[in-house]
């Protein structure tokens, strides 16, 4: 093969690696949540100050909602990880049969419409995140805010969305891009849609523990080997599936550009590709490593500033797994280039990511803590805290009403006695507030003991 062809291939490999790195990096940070330690500190501060919800609290709620913190997260457990390769194989082989016995044009038309609808939401969310970063939080929060809620009696809130005029404008831009993609199948717009889907998938999907992640990566390691080396199924589906489930780059891009500049006939583009599964699957494992780094850092140095947008903390496990992913993907490209044959990327990515995490934990003397850590504790504790706070609020309101009714005569008969009771009550409340503010978080101790019992 000529040196110019090798040059074009290396450019294509570099483009694919960049396209894989960016959604994993930004999707991992998008998956962060405000640590439980920060929630505890802010709650104790409000309680110590004797203040309820304020305007600043409303702004924080708006920020968290607009950045996706309250979005629905699909959490994978160990049982899901065992079945992941099984269901994946069933879907893959089903798609192979569909393309073999049905008209693939109609199948791709239907799938394109589905991914188009999903893609509008994914692209909108990515554009909102980029615009917010450019404009800045202060200016962004000055925009008019709207909230749409859907509640059901007895069930509470079942749907909520907050938006600004910027959201509506960016939604319109996304609709135009998706319509253009459906009409032209332009590969650049297809890549934009695929990258947006990857970023959102990594931010919304999560693993409950590193144990689950290792099981999932191990199963998909075998899955990828079988369906790529053992059968032509995966390669066939990838080539026939004309939907944004892969990022692609022309292998002869330079030749096409030179032909376009010289005015000669532009050659047909020949593409190399990387499936979104090779991005999203390792990506949610890398994102879990970042959330572990965040949890450890927030517990060592609790601070009210340590929100989901605070990222200036040590990231040893995130760095190790991300570097391992890049190295594994580079190895995949190298082997593919040498042998001139498609390679199962997870054959290299799965051991690279899981091995990097386990070796880093062993080198730092934290293997047991890492292996037994579960990501669902913070979420469970936060839900329990919300339910408890709501129950206490309801009980407190009922007690207050009953107290007013009961003490109505006494307040009229002896105001001094009523004042003394009120002062005594306030003193008791202040004592409770001081104790709450000065004592360590009980839920954190409970969470740690829960993890130890699981181990």
Catalytic residue list: 224, 278
Q: Name which of 23, 253, 259, 11 is nearest 125 in CA terms.
A: 23
Q: Which residues pair with 157 in a beta bridge?
A: 151
**Cβ pair 15, 316 in contact under 8 A:** no
Measure the CA–CA gap between 241 and 243, rounded to whole angstroms: 6
User: What would you measure as the largest C-alpha separation in the chain, in angstroms?
Assistant: 103
Return the C-alpha torsion angle 72, 196, 16, 27, nearest 10.
-40
Cα gap 256→267, rounded to integer Å: 6
CB atoms within 10 A of CB 143: 13
Q: Nearest-CA neighbor of 20 among 261, 345, 318?
A: 345
Token pair belonging to 217 = 């990566």
| 22: number of Cβ within 10 Å | 14
**Distance between CA atoms of 231 and 97, rounded to whole angstroms?**
13
Question: In 10 A of CB 203, how many CB atoms?
Answer: 26
């Amino acid at each position: 093969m000529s040196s110019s062809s090798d040059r074009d291939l290396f450019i294509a490999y570099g483009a694919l690696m960049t396209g894989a790195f960016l959604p994993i990096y930004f999707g991992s940070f998008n998956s962060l949540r405000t640590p439980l330690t920060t929630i505890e500190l802010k709650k104790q501060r409000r309680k110590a100050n004797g203040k309820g919800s304020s305007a600043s609290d409303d702004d924080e709620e708006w920020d968290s909602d607009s950045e996706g913190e309250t979005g629905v997260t699909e959490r994978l457990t160990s049982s899901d990880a065992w079945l992941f390769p099984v269901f994946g194989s069933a879907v893959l082989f089903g798609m192979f049969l569909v393309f073999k016995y049905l008209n693939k044009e109609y199948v791709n038309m239907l799938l394109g419409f589905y991914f188009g609808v999903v893609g509008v939401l994914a692209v909108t969310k990515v554009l909102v995140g980029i615009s917010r970063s450019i404009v800045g939080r202060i200016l962004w929060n000055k925009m008019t805010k709207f909230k749409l809620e859907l509640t059901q009696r007895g069930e509470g809130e079942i749907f909520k969305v907050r938006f600004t005029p910027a959201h509506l404008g960016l939604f319109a831009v996304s609709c135009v891009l998706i319509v253009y993609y459906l009409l032209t199948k332009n590969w650049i717009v297809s890549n934009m849609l695929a990258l947006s889907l990857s970023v959102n998938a990594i931010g919304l999907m999560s693993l409950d523990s590193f144990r689950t992640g290792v099981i999932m990566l191990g199963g998909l390691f075998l899955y990828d080997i079988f369906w790529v080396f053992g059968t032509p199924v995966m390669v066939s589906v990838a080539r026939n599936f004309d939907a944004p489930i892969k990022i692609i780059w022309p292998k002869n891009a330079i030749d096409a550009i030179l032909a376009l500049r010289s005015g000669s006939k532009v050659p047909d583009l020949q593409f190399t590709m990387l499936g979104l599964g090779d991005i999203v699957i390792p990506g949610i494992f890398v994102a879990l490593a970042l959330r572990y780094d965040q949890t450890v850092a927030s517990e060592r140095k609790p601070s009210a500033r340590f929100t989901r947008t605070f990222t200036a903390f040590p990231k040893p496990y995130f760095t190790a797994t991300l570097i391992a992913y890049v190295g594994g993907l580079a190895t995949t490209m190298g082997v593919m280039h040498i042998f001139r044959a498609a390679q199962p990327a997870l054959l290299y990515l799965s051991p690279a990511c899981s091995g990097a995490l386990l070796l880093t934990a062993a080198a730092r003397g934290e293997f047991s803590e890492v292996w037994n850590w579960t990501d669902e504790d913070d979420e469970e504790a936060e839900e329990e805290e919300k339910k408890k706070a709501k129950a206490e609020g309801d009980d407190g309101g009922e007690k207050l009403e009953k107290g007013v009714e009961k003490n109505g005569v006494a307040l009229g008969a002896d105001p001094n006695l009523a004042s003394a009771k009120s002062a005594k009550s306030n003193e008791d409340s202040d004592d409770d507030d001081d104790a709450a503010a000065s004592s360590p978080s009980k839920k954190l101790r409970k969470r740690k003991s829960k993890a130890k019992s699981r181990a």
